């Protein structure tokens, strides 16, 4: 089965850049989507198909995908960006797969 690995936590200073990685075998050949989940709330899509932002998502959120790693980048981090972030792909053998999740803390 296909697996996605994320760091458990990432800390970033206010106004600085956070990078969250999502590792998977040849993930660069797949479309990667990213979700933000704040405590007690449902997840929200923040990046789709590697690097596209849905309407209403700030330009500070960006994504890339190559080789065995996809990356979600949060520029000029704000206190409101504190949340859990999950990557997700579709795999023909496993169907939908989520990453293990990363807790982002803004210091």
Partner 1 sequence: EVQLVESGGGLVQPGGSLRLSCAASGFTFSSYSMNWVRQAPGKGLEWVSYISSSSSTIYYADSVKGRFTISRDNAKNSLYLQMNSLRDEDTAVYYCARDPGSSSYRFDPWGQGTLVTVSS
Q: Which residues of this chain interact with partner 1, rule CB under 8 A? A: 31, 33, 35, 37, 41-45, 48-49, 54, 86, 88-90, 95-101
CA 11 from chain center: how many Å?
14
The minimum distance between CB 98 and partner 1, in angstroms, equals 4
Give the shortest CB-15-to-partner 1 separation in angstroms. Answer: 29
Question: Least distance from C-beta 54 to partner 1, angstroms?
Answer: 7
Q: How far is CA 70 from CA 8, 14, 74, 78, 107, in A?
A: 15, 23, 13, 22, 24
């Amino acid at each position: 089965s296909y697996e996605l690995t994320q760091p458990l936590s990432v800390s970033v200073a206010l106004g600085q850049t956070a990078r969250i990685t999502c590792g998977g075998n040849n993930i660069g050949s797949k479309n990667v989507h990213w979700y933000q989940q704040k405590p007690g709330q449902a997840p929200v899509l923040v990046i789709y198909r590697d690097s596209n932002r849905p309407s209403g998502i700030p330009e500070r959120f960006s994504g890339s995908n190559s080789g065995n790693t996809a990356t979600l980048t949060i520029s000029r981090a704000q206190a409101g960006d504190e949340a859990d972030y999950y990557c997700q792909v579709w795999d023909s053998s496993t169907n939908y797969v989520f990453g293990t999740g990363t807790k982002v803390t803004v210091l």
